[in-house]
Amino acid sequence: QQQVKQSPQSLIVQKGGISIINCAYENTAFDYFPWYQQFPGKGPALLIAIRPDVSEKKEGRFTISFNKSAKQFSLHIMDSQPGDSATYFCAASMSMHQTGANNLFFGTGTRLTVIP
């Protein structure tokens, strides 16, 4: 069972536009929600992360919006650039896991293409 559901599967955006990717989760024990960016042949790299005590976090052109009651969070990429073309993964983890492993549960990914 997919613990984190992500949409859309793929996204095409014009340069300068806004890219929006959405994720939803069920497990209320999750308390850390990162977004990772992955280029072909590379490992995922942390882009931005949020904890549930805030509703929004902004870092440069990247913003996470978090809705705790709806158990949803989204990534907004403002002024999208061709260099942003990559696969984006949302994820979630719980810091108080019974084994101590705060492993990440990933969404299925969104392939973003920014057209020049």
Partner 1 sequence: GAGVSQSPRYKVAKRGQDVALRCDPISGHVSLFWYQQALGQGPEFLTYFQNEAQLDKSGLPSDRFFAERPEGSVSTLKIQRTQQEDSAVYLCASSLVPGAGTQYFGPGTRLLVL
49 vs 13: CA distance, rounded Å: 23
Q: How far is the CB of 16 from partner 1 (least distance, A)?
A: 28
Among 1, 42, 70, 116, binds partner 1 (CB under 8 A): 42
Contact call for residue 1 and partner 1 (CB under 8 A): no
CB closer to partner 1, 46 vs 54: 46
Q: Parallel, antiparallel, or unpaired: how do β-strands 33-38 and 4-7 relate?
A: unpaired
CB closer to partner 1, 66 vs 89: 89
Nearer to partner 1, 14 or 95 (CB): 95
- Give min distance, CB of 85 to partner 1, in A: 16
* Residue 18 to residue 94: CA distance in whole angstroms: 30
Host H or E run for residue 12: strand 10-14
For residues 107 and 24, the answer to whether their CB atoms sit within 8 Å is no
Q: Which of 1, 41, 53, 83 binds partner 1 (CB under 8 A)?
A: 41
Query: For partner 1, which stretch binds (CB under 8 A), given 11-19, 63-71, 76-84, 100-108?
Result: 100-108
Distance of alpha carbon 90 from alpha carbon 33, whole angstroms: 7
